[in-house]
Amino acid sequence: HNLKRNVPFAPARYLVAWLAYHLAAGPVVRPEHWLPRVAPRPVMLLNALQDERLPRPAIEKLHRSAMPPKEEIWLPGSHVQPNRPEIIKQLVVTILERAAR
């Protein structure tokens, strides 16, 4: 998804993504592999409604892999980045509010 801008030709993009994924040990570190093992501890899944970096199907796959107890939270805005302090502040406030329960 994030290679579209740099590799516009889809077949080449898929090949580059596949190669990078496997060179970076992607199958071993993918979050949907490890997230189910967190249970029975509670999991909070925070997501941006307008996330331009993570495709919605990937986020939904991650959510499906989480076991209860889990809480899915969709916040307005874009992907969290260091240069977006308003999003970081919103995340911190949301986490602290939920942790205080």
**Tens digit of pLDDT for each residue in 19-41?**
988 888 777 778 888 899 898 99
**Tens digit of pLDDT for each residue in 60-97?**
999 999 999 999 999 988 888 888 888 889 889 999 99
46: left (phi over 0), alpha (psi -120 to 50) or beta: beta
The set of long-range contacts for 23-27, using a CB threshold of 8 Å and a minimum separation of 24, is: none
* Phi, psi values for residue 96, rounded to 5°: -65, -40
* Nearest in space to 34 (alpha carbons), one of 98, 17, 26, 57: 26
- Read off the tokens for 47: 């997501």
Q: Is the pLDDT of residue 98 over 90?
A: no
